[in-house]
Amino acid sequence: MTILVTGAAGFIGHALTRALMQRGQHVVGIDNLNPYYDPALKHARLANLATIQEGRFDFVELDFADHEPLEAALAPHDPSTIVHLGAQAGVRYSIDNPRAYVQSNLVGHLNLLEVARNRQVKQFVYASSSSVYGNSDTVPFSVDHRVDHPVSLYAATKKADELMSETYAHLYRIPMTGLRFFTVYGPWGRPDMALWKFTRAILQGQPIDVYNHGDMRRDFTYIDDIIAGVLAVIDHPPTDDGAMKPGGSISPHRIYNIGNNQPEPLGRMIDVIEAACGRPAIRNMLPMQPGDVYQTYADISAIQGELGYAPTTGIGIGIPRFVDWYRSYTGS
């Protein structure tokens, strides 16, 4: 079985491709290796995939927002499943660069939906985000809650992706699963995320910016727990039985939260990084940033009940693993 993974050189895409290959599967990976963050890390992830002896990996460098090169590149392949993880990420970046999000997250998503329709794939799995919940006061966040008030363009594009996917599931009966990821972290993570920034600054003796004066909470989810959930989704596509799915669809389209179901105060996260680094942080307290949210908190009962998803890694274990990897990767 061939699986198409977009964003294969990204954080989650790399980890998923690695896990699929270790199961002996053939992965066709797509990534445009854009400079949103240092492409050297993306190349390092690809080099890491080249060390895996199991499975097979065919990598194609292209922008999936350009449909003609996308279709030409996929002509030799026959994927049975698409896992669309590629996107322009980052809440704050979307404020200054909105067109990048429309092109990648809307046009690109549509292009992959068209591939799924034309190839008649068995299922289409795609990345949404916990950002769609905005500043909801109702916690934990449930996939059955309304999410009509995004506070960033990034979140708006992810909600739009869910709506487009619902349409394709309804019209073409393509089994679809949208995954709302909650603050993913771990080895090979992204340099634009707080964990990387804080770790680098603490090790270098530089101050860290702590927004909302530290009064924020995040449902930090370790990368291995995320991948366990994605693999379970791949192995169990939704059925087209007319029953209501998580998220409210009666088409073969469901939406799951994948989180740790345990929001942590930002201050505790920094405490754990300090302990792992062996030195204190210099905390620069600042007000809340535009587009940011106070807390994220995943209700995982849907994926837990249907697929047995059960995260096992708290930040007391996961953050030291990241710090160890970071020091090895950077030589810090």
Structure tokens at 40: 């050297």
Structure tokens at 123: 């299922």
Check residue 139 and give its pLDDT. Answer: 85
Does the residue 265 lie in any domain? no
Check residue 207 and give its pLDDT. Answer: 97
Catalytic (active-site) positions: 154
Does the residue 172 lie in any domain? yes
pLDDT digits (tens, 9 = 90+) for 259-270: 999 999 999 999
The answer to whether the CB of 203 falls within 8 A of the CB of 327 is: yes
Check residue 291 and give its pLDDT. Answer: 73
Does the residue 329 lie in any domain? no
Distance of alpha carbon 299 from alpha carbon 257, whole angstroms: 7
Secondary structure of the chain in HEC code, one letter for each residue: CEEEEECCCCHHHHHHHHHHHHCCCEEEEEECCCCCCCHHHHHHHHHHHCCCCCCEEEEEECCCCCHHHHHHHHCCCCCCEEEECCCCCCCCHHHHCHHHHHHHHHHHHHHHHHHHHHHCCCEEEEEEEHHHHCCCCCCCECCCCCCCCCCCHHHHHHHHHHHHHHHHHHHHCCCEEEEEECCEECCCCCCCCHHHHHHHHHHHCCEEEEHHHHCCEECCEEHHHHHHHHHHHHHCCCCCCCCCCCCCCCCCEEEEEECCCCCEEHHHHHHHHHHHHCCCCEEEECCCCCCCCCECCECCHHHHHHHCCCCCCCHHHHHHHHHHHHHHHHCC
Does the residue 218 lie in any domain? no
Domain hosting 106: range is: 2-181+223-259+297-311
Does the residue 317 lie in any domain? no
Check residue 209 and give its pLDDT. Answer: 92
Q: Is cis: bond before 140, omega within 30 of 0?
A: yes
Structure tokens at 182: 């909650």
Does the residue 143 lie in any domain? yes
Question: CA geometry: angle at 267 spanning 275 and 265, to 5°?
Answer: 120
Does the residue 102 lie in any domain? yes
Check residue 302 and give its pLDDT. Answer: 98
pLDDT digits (tens, 9 = 90+) for 58-109: 999 999 999 999 999 999 999 999 999 999 988 888 888 999 999 999 999 9
Number of structural domains found in the chain: 1
CATH code assigned at 8: 3.40.50.720
Mean pLDDT by 10 residues, the chain (332 residues): 97 98 98 96 98 96 97 96 95 87 97 97 97 89 94 94 98 98 97 96 96 92 98 98 98 98 94 97 91 87 98 97 98 92
Does the residue 146 lie in any domain? yes
Task: Report the predicted TM-score, pTM, of the whole model to 2 decimal places.
Answer: 0.96
